Amino acid sequence: MGAYLKTVSPETMLAEGRGVRVRDTGGRWLLDARSGLWNVTLGYDHPGIKEAIRRQLDTLPYANLIGYGRPSALSMEAAEALLPHLPSHLNKIRYCSNGSQAVETAVLLSRFLHRAQGAPERNTVFGMWRGFHGLGAGGGALTGIPYVHHQAGPLLPDVMHAPGPFEAHGDGQASDLERLMTDFGPERVSAVVVEPVVGEGGHVLTREYLTSLAQFCRTHGIHLIVDEVTTGMGRTGAFTRSGQLDLRPDMLTLGKGLTSGYAPLSAVVLSDEVYQAVRGLPYDQQFFIGSTNDGHPLSLAASMAVVEALTTEGILENVRARGAELERRLTSVVKRHPQVTSVRGTGLMYAIESDEPDLLRLAMEARGVLVSTLAKWPLVISSDEIEEIVVAVDQALGDVAEFAS
Ligand SMILES: Cc1ncc(COP(=O)(O)O)c(C=O)c1O
């Protein structure tokens, strides 16, 4: 936090957004190739989302999902609009407020269900090293980044991590996750949480890896939770990566692009099997969880406008076309820069691996393009804007090499 604050100057705060660009308080317009915090997927001035929020403000600005049995009618409408675009076995949605909370809700629901079904020893949850699922005590516990655990842990107990397939053996090789769960005792595992594309590094988990993991989980009665907070809502060129790969997770989480970042919202989507298991429990054994702003009506209205946009504005097609273009151009440009060791990703989610990620990020910023250590390009980006980014990558890599020599 201290280091971060030191980098904020009065001229670099953001003041305005238009399309895929933001203006800072110093008056400089920058191309936001990180889409806010990977969430402003449809750009900063999408008319349909703005109008939907305005209308909802005049109709019902607040209702809640957790108390007194009077949720907004809009929560049903929003779920009904979204569900047809998700894998068909997933058919119940619980809206939450942010991504970490969605992951935490899914994990606690998994533990709750095993306990309610007479298996309290099934309490351990597995995540993947380098996986990201939030920074709090629940989502952060699943996050496989050591400093998140060291800074103020211990976080949620009974959480373990395994190396991803990209770590020990290279993509598509034998699964350490399955091996570790086998050694640990699968009958003591409640759930596994994975991102289908690991956001911190852009590693794309293969269909084979994920299908094998899903099969392992099914065989051993473990819930498979696929965290699509980043990959969901269009980023990989489909509504969900799970749908794109024909995966059948027990629970799937969404967030970020669910409202294109215009209002906070996330969701846990349940398979029919999980939902029926919860529903079948006696009245005095219910899963009680939630927070005041879960399923906030302004956010739900935004989410319906996003679903409408994704289905009517050619956005998924744009992601696939621009993604292919981006991969081709990046792969070609980095050949000139030996310090880049890898380009990887899918859809509009690409990473460049270099020894100097922070320097490169700052050099890109100096060239007028905002990126995070992993870039998440706006889904509405055009060919010209892709070219603008690729040229900035090329120039910034040159700047970094010059600086280092
Ligand atoms: C895959 C994934 N899961 C969960 C989260 C946490 O979401 P939030 O920051 O909304 O709590 C993130 C945030 O970057 C994420 O990328």
Single-letter code of the amino acid located at 359: L
Closest ligand 1 atom to residue 103 Cα is 4
pLDDT at 2: 47
What is the separation, in whole angstroms, between the first and last Cα of the chain? Answer: 31
Q: Can you give the pLDDT of all 405 residues of the chain as single tens digits?
A: 445 555 678 889 999 999 999 999 999 999 999 999 999 999 999 999 999 999 999 999 999 999 888 999 999 999 999 999 999 999 999 999 999 999 999 999 999 999 999 999 999 999 999 999 999 999 999 999 999 999 999 999 999 999 888 775 444 455 789 999 999 999 999 999 999 999 888 899 999 999 999 999 999 999 999 999 999 999 999 999 999 999 999 999 999 999 999 999 999 999 999 999 999 998 888 899 999 999 999 999 999 999 999 999 999 999 999 999 999 999 999 999 999 988 999 999 999 888 888 899 999 999 999 998 755 567 889 999 999 999 999 999 999 998 877
pLDDT at 217: 98
CA quadruple 145, 150, 156, 157: dihedral positive or negative? positive
Ligand 1 center–CA 1 separation, angstroms: 18
**Residues 58, 301 contacting (CB under 8 angstroms):** no
Alpha-carbon distances, residue 69 vs 37, 72, 121 (angstroms): 34, 10, 33
**Residues 123, 107 contacting (CB under 8 angstroms):** no
pLDDT at 283: 82
Ligand 1 center–CA 131 separation, angstroms: 10
- In whole angstroms, give the CA distance from residue 55 to residue 225: 35
Nearest to 79 by CA among 87, 62, 91: 91
- Pocket test of ligand 1: the residue of 204, 230, 240, 268 to mutate, having most ligand atoms within 8 Å of its CB, is 230
CA quadruple 54, 58, 62, 65: dihedral positive or negative? negative
Q: What is the 3-state secondary structure (H, E, C) of 298-319?
A: HHHHHHHHHHHHHHHCCHHHHH
Ligand 1 center–CA 132 separation, angstroms: 7
By CB atoms closer than 10 A (0-12, 13-18, 19+), residue 351 is buried
- In whole angstroms, give the CA distance from residue 307 to residue 215: 31
Ligand 1 center–CA 230 separation, angstroms: 7
Closest ligand 1 atom to residue 101 Cα is 11
**Residues 287, 117 contacting (CB under 8 angstroms):** no
- Pocket test of ligand 1: the residue of 95, 132, 294 to mutate, having most ligand atoms within 8 Å of its CB, is 132
Residue whose CA lies nearest to ligand 1 atom number 16 = 230
By CB atoms closer than 10 A (0-12, 13-18, 19+), residue 359 is middle
Ligand 1 center–CA 91 separation, angstroms: 22
Ligand 1 center–CA 38 separation, angstroms: 9
Specify whether domain 2-46+316-404 bears CATH 3.90.1150.10.
yes
Ligand 1 center–CA 355 separation, angstroms: 25
Domain boundaries, the chain: 2-46+316-404, 49-312
The binding-site residues of ligand 1, defined as CB within 6 angstroms of any ligand atom, are 98-100, 103, 132-134, 139, 195, 199, 227, 229-230, 255
Q: In sequence order, what are the beta bridge partners of 350?
A: 345, 375
Q: Give backbone dihedrals phi and psi of 24, rounded to 5 degrees, phi first.
A: -95, 175
Residue whose CA lies nearest to ligand 1 atom number 4 = 133
Specify whether domain 49-312 bears CATH 1.20.140.10.
no
- What phi-psi label fits residue 192: left (phi over 0), alpha (psi between -120 and 50 degrees) or beta? beta
Residue whose CA lies nearest to ligand 1 atom number 3 = 133
Ligand 1 center–CA 41 separation, angstroms: 15
Residue whose CA lies nearest to ligand 1 atom number 10 = 99
Single-letter code of the amino acid located at 286: Q
CA atoms in the 13 A half-sphere facing the CB of 223: 31
Buried b (16+ CB within 10 A) or exposed e, 137-153: ebbbbbbbbeebbeeee
